[in-house]
Chains A and B, each alone.
Chain A
Amino acid sequence: MHVAVLQFPASNCDQDCVHAVRVLGHTANLVWHKDTSLGAADAVIVPGGFSYGDYLRCGAIARFSPVMQAVIQFAAQGGLVLGICNGFQILCEAGLLPGALIRNRDLQFHCEQVYLRTLQRDTAFTSRIPETSVLKMPIAHGEGCYFADEPTLKALEAGRQILWQYTDALGQATDAANPNGSVQNIAGICNARRNVAGLMPHPDRASETLLGTDDGKYIFQSMVAALQKA
């Protein structure tokens, strides 16, 4: 798998994403936000950070970058696109994913480990996640509270597009396990076509045992498996 990792002004997880992909035995290169082409990429990762200083709204300015036109086209052709943290916010702003991410309900920036339950395993982002496992991954965000109106939520449920929920260590989606107030404890979703996904937790910071958890690797391995099948 060769991954294009986007780089905006104030992206700060771009190198983490490149590193995680390489550690798992694949290749990646950075693509500058002013570039209009993604090169020969099999998949795209929109990394975390604070693109354009989070001015106006998180991801609002980044979505109009030249490179995002290439990403929109890549996604329209069925290409795999994963947005992590600020990348998730950018994909929502760009309309590639439904809903929006707003200020955490307690107004605090949360930098901690969370547990995630995977709700769907028939996607290019989740197929290699073991059936029984609750994933442990870090979050680091101030605006990660997922919001969508009722009709959108119903469509997400009907389309089985809610991929990950915040849970406790036992996999229970309790309110106490919800770090930011997201509706239905939603941590990550995919689009109806199932080729674009976004999540607030960081699989890129959790793909080596050295970092305390390597559960994030399952998401990247799922993408590899999907590309091999294609």
Chain B
Amino acid sequence: MKAKLVITPKKAVLDPVGKTVQNALAHMGYQGVTGVHVGKYIEIDLAPGTDKAQAREALNAAAHKFLSNPVIEDFQLELVD
């Protein structure tokens, strides 16, 4: 089993990297891009037979406490077999 964690900057937080990438896309001629938000992707390998519900709970706590900073970031956690 794998856990996939996508971390993105909160909307209210300045995201100069996203803005720069957005500008670059515009310069390259890509039309209709109204926003780019650059975050992080973390993939976590879990031992075979891991209880999915327990893993979700534990990783949610870890994401709140350590893997993301709730002051500036949001996260989405997905568990896949």
Which A residues have a C-beta under 8 Å from some C-beta of B? Answer: 56-57, 60, 64, 92-93, 99-100, 102-107, 145, 147-149, 181
Contacts of A102 in B (CB 8 A): 9, 13-14, 72
Partner of A64 from the list B14, B16, B66 (CB cut-off 8 Å) is B66
Partner of B20 from the list A56, A57, A92, A107 (CB cut-off 8 Å) is A107
B71 touches A147 (CB 8 A): yes
Nearest CB in chain A to that of B68: its residue: A57
Nearest CB in chain B to that of A103: its residue: B16
Q: Tell me the B1-45 residues at the A interface (CB within 8 Å).
A: 9, 12-14, 16-17, 20
Nearest CB in chain B to that of A152: its residue: B71
Nearest CB in chain B to that of A92: its residue: B71
Question: Bound state CA distance, A148 and B10, in angstroms?
Answer: 11
Partner of B66 from the list A60, A92, A145, A148 (CB cut-off 8 Å) is A60
A104 touches B12 (CB 8 A): no
Partner of A147 from the list B17, B66, B67, B72 (CB cut-off 8 Å) is B72
Question: Bound state CA distance, A148 and B71, in angstroms?
Answer: 7
Nearest CB in chain B to that of A64: its residue: B66
How many chain B residues sit at the interface, stated as a range, is: 10 to 19
Contacts of A148 in B (CB 8 A): 71
A100 touches B17 (CB 8 A): no
Question: Bound state CA distance, A93 and B71, in angstroms?
Answer: 9
A106 touches B69 (CB 8 A): no
- Taking the closest CB of chain A, its distance from the CB of B74, in whole angstroms, is 13
Nearest CB in chain A to that of B10: its residue: A149
Contacts of A92 in B (CB 8 A): 71
Question: Bound state CA distance, A155 and B53, in angstroms?
Answer: 38
- Taking the closest CB of chain B, its distance from the CB of A45, in whole angstroms, is 23
A147 touches B69 (CB 8 A): no
Q: Counting chain A CB atoms within 10 Å of each CB, which of B12, B13, B17, B67 scores highest? A: B13
A106 touches B71 (CB 8 A): no
A103 touches B67 (CB 8 A): no
Nearest CB in chain B to that of A58: its residue: B69
